[in-house]
Structure 1
Amino acid sequence: MGTVTSYATTEGKRYRVLYRKPDHSQTSKRGFRTKRDAELFLASVEISKSRGEFVNASDGRVSVQTLAETWLASQTHLKPSSLEPVEIALRLYVLPRWGSTAIADIRHSDVQTWIAQMGQGTAKTAHAKLPGPRSATVVLRAYGVLASILDVAARDRRLATNPARGVSLPRKGKKARVYLTHERVRLLADNAGDHGTMIRTLAYTGLRWGEVVGLRVRDLDALRRRLNVRENAVRVGGRIEVGTPKTHEARSVPFPLFLSIPLARAAEGKSSLELLFGNGRDYVRTPSHGDGWFAAAVADAMTADADFPRVTPHDLRHTAASLAISAGANVKAVQRMLGHASAAMTLDTYADLFDDDLDAVADALHDAEANSNVAKMLPRRATSGEPTPLHPSIYGEVGR
């Protein structure tokens, strides 16, 4: 146990608490106005030590900047494409506001104010050319970075609790998905020129852009009509990063018969290790939203079809799910094709595509109820010597 002693100040008597930390080194806290307050503090210290919850006040004086460097270096589980937006959020939003702040000085209300300011476009950022309110996605990512750093601090017993947890956060609005019909996939592919086969592959296999451009000739199994997805090639910071697919697992994806000849032509004259699409050596560049071959193909399709939607390469993945489900594929098959971690994830992502199944359930329940009601109204066959029961309908209005 520690001790409580008094000392004189110009403002009157004050109390000091001397106690030992879990490592047995001695420290003190002073400034208590009453002896009772000092004794309560000492009791809380002893209880926290016995529970293994002791937090040394000096450990909370480390800055967010210092912890952020260690935290970012530990994010080795993230793929480069996932790590890049985290680094941007840390650099542009978290460090300008919290970098020099000691973690013990962060208050729940301060974090809530920061979130509101980002949504209003008044938060301090590292770049003066970022006017206007930030989107919910940007706000949530920046908040997630700060909260994760403070989670580590709490687990290291630098903080008793994480002050960032439990704040009110903006909700991300769900963007309406675009699903192309077979006719519109054909129209887009026809306007894509040499990239038409890639368009059809995206729209009928559900592969991600990085998975398609990462395909090699060896990944084309023409006999089984399968594409073996083993690599993912994505552009990060102006360079191509090659790694495993998003779920870190290879998968085999079927392709329809009509793609057999176009895919064979794409592989023609290339060695097994060369890339299936493009010249075999260089990865096909990620299409720009504003220009480039994909944007030009979309523009031409919109000219030919006034109702043609403005789509992105990722919308072709959604299209693949839509076309597969409309063709009668079950959830498990769609999950395996798309490479989702679970069928539940597929259902959550594409719940709107299963509305027809809900209608079928309602129709089936209606038919079952009707059949059950008819069965009750049919006359029961009389046994020997028993009069035949009369159907209620013969009574007309009598007895109603």
Structure 2
Amino acid sequence: MGSVESYPTSAGRRYRVRYRTPDHRQTDRRGFVTKRDAEMFLASVEVAKARGEYVNAGDARIALGDLGEVWLTQQTHLKPSSLRPLLIAWRVHVQPRWGAVRLSEVRHSDVQAWVSELSAARGATTVLRAYGVLAGVLDVAVKDRRVQSNPARGVNLPRKVRKEHRYLTHEQVHSLAGVSGEHRTLVLLLAYTGLRWGEAIGLRVGDVDLQRRRIAVSVNAVEVGPEIRLGTPKSHKRRSVPFPRLLETALREQTVGRGDDELVFAAADGLHMRRVRVSSGSRSWFKTALKEAGLDPMTLHDLRHTAASLSVSAGANVKAVQRMLGHASAAMTLDIYADLFDDDLDVVSDRLDEAYMRSSVGKVWAEPSSAVPQTGQ
């Protein structure tokens, strides 16, 4: 147990509380005006120690920036493409505002004001990412017993509105592929298999099985700044993706005469392709092809959405689409492409009507006919 003792000051008598921290260090806190306040503080310390909730006020005096730098180095579970946006959010938005602020001085109202101010100038994605970094650092502060609670939790955040998906028809896909020049096969592959861009440009000749019409997806080539980093697919799981027969000839021509370790879709230097040409003043080959095909602006990732749409319209169920796209679960596929399954609602209502009609007809035939009343003489 600790102790409470008084001491004189120029402003009058004050009280000091002496106690031991959970690691058995002797410490004190002074400046209490009344003995009761000092005793209440000591009691709260003992209760917090007993519950394992004790927070050393001195540990909360460090700047948030110091802990933030440590937190960033611990995000080793993230892929480089996922870590880079966090580093940018920290450097551009979080560190300038919160880096010099002590952990003990972070207030919920201040975090809310920061989020609101940022929301007025930036999109929801940027705001949510910056907030996530700040909240993550403060979560570590709570786990380290530097602060009792996370003041960033519970603030009002902007709602991220999902962009409407763009889907191409079979005719539009082939029209786009026809004006894509050397990238024709790549466009068809993206639109009919749903491979991510990084998965497509990371394909090796040995990954393509022309006899079984299967593609082994095991590598994801991602642009991280000026570099291309190789890693596992987004879900960390390898998968086998079927491709339709209409791609067989194109893929055969794309891989003929190449070794198994060579890239299927390579740049002029034999290395991995990039989304946009790096030469000054030139346009993206994809944007050029869209314009020549008379199609509205879209992204390469919209070809993945197109693959999902064409598969569903061909009768594929959600589980098959999930496996093809490499989603972690069928629920994720439904969440992303719920609009593609809207027609299923009409099917449900039609099936209910059919079931009702069968039930009603059966009931009519099952009922005995009522006797015909006799008329009087």
TM-score normalized with structure 2 length: 0.95
| Equivalent position SS for 2:136 | helix
Residue 239 of structure 1: CA displacement? 1.1
Q: Measure how far apart 1:34 and its partner are.
A: 1.8
For 1:299, the aligned partner's letter is K
By how many angstroms is 1:312 displaced?
0.6
* Contact 1:331–1:346 (CA under 8 A) maintained in structure 2: yes
Match for residue 305 of structure 2?
318
Q: Contact 1:270/1:280 (CA < 8 Å) preserved in 2?
A: no
Q: Conserved in 1, the CA contact under 8 Å of 2:14 and 2:32?
A: yes
Give 1:6 deviation, angstroms.
1.9
One-letter code aligned to 1:369: Y
Measured in 1, the distance between the counterparts of 2:45 and 2:87 equals 38
Q: Is residue 224 of structure 2 the alignment partner of residue 219 of structure 1?
A: no
- Unaligned regions of 5+ residues in structure 2, if any? none
Tell me whether 1:282 sits opposite 2:271 in the alignment.
yes
- Contact 2:194/2:307 (<8 A) preserved: yes
Is it true that 1:371 corresponds to 2:358 in the alignment? yes
**What is the identity, as a one-letter code, of the residue corresponding to 1:205?**
T
Contact (CA 8 Å) 1:379, 1:389: kept in 2 or not? no
Aligned residues of 1:274 and 1:280 also touching (Cα < 8 A): no
| Paired residues of 2:275 and 2:284 also in contact (CA < 8 A) | no
Within-5 A mapping of 1:65-84: 65-84=65-84
1:11 aligns with 2:11: yes
Give the deviation of 1:13 after TM superposition: 2.6
In the alignment, what sits opposite 2:98? Answer: 98
- Where does 1:1-400 land on structure 2 (aligned, <5 Å)? 1-120=1-120, 133-278=121-266, 281-287=270-276, 291-302=283-294, 308-378=295-365, 380=367, 388-389=369-370
Superposition deviation, residue 8 in structure 1? 2.7
Runs of 4+ more than 4 Å apart: none
Measured in 1, the distance between the counterparts of 2:367 and 2:202 equals 70
CA distance in structure 1 between the aligned counterparts of 2:55 and 2:164, rounded to whole angstroms: 47
Judge which range, 69-78 or 201-210, deviates more. Answer: 69-78
> How far apart are the structure 1 equivalents of 2:367 and 2:138?
74
CA-atom RMSD in angstroms: 1.7
Cα distance in 1 between the residues matched to 2:13 and 2:171: 87
CA shift for structure 1 position 212: 0.2
Tell me how far 1:52 sits from its aligned partner.
1.0
In structure 1, what is the Cα distance between the partners aligned to 2:54 and 2:131?
27
Residue by residue over 1:193-222, the C-alpha shift from the partner in whole angstroms, topping out at 9 and shown as x without a partner, is 110110000000000000000000000001
Equivalent pair of 1:231/1:244 in contact (CA under 8 Å): yes
Distance 1:40 1:372 in 2: 74
What is the alpha-carbon distance in structure 1 between the residues aligned to residue 233 and residue 10 of structure 2? 69
2-structure distance, mates of 1:170, 1:379: 60
Shift of 1:10: 3.0
Of 88-97 and 285-294, deviating more is 285-294
Alpha-carbon deviations, 1:311-352, whole Å to 9, x = none?
A: 110000000000000000011100000000000100111011
Deviations 1:293-319, CA, capped at 9 Å, x for gaps? 1110011112xxxxx321110000000
Distance 1:12 1:185 in 2: 85
Residue type matched to 1:38 in 2? Answer: A
Q: Residue by residue, what CA displacement relative to the aligned partner does 1:138-167 show, whole Å, maximum 9, x if unpaired?
A: 000000001001111111111111111111
Aligned with 1:240: secondary structure? strand
* Aligned amino acid, residue 102 of structure 2: A
SS of 1:378's partner is helix
Q: Do 1:288 and 1:294's aligned partners in 2 also have CA atoms closer than 8 Å?
A: no
Q: Does the residue aligned with 1:95 lie in a helix, a strand or coil?
A: helix
Change (3 A) 1:137 1:184: same
Identity of aligned residues (%): 57
Letter in 1 for 2:62: V
Q: Distance in 1 between matches of 2:187 and 2:78?
A: 29
Determine helix, strand or coil for the equivalent of 2:342.
Answer: helix
Deviates more, 1:232-241 or 1:274-283: 274-283
Query: Could you tell me which amino acid in structure 1 is paired with residue 289 of structure 2?
Result: A
TM-score normalised per structure 1? 0.89
Deviation at 1:14, TM superposition (A): 2.1
Distance in 2 (CA, whole Å) between partners of 1:251 and 1:277 is 19
Displacement of 1:176: 0.7
Asked whether the 8 Å contact 1:6–1:13 carries over to 2, the reply is yes
String of CA shifts for 1:368-397, please: whole Å, max 9, x gaps.
12222222223535xxxxxx425xxx99xx
Match of 1:385 in 2: none
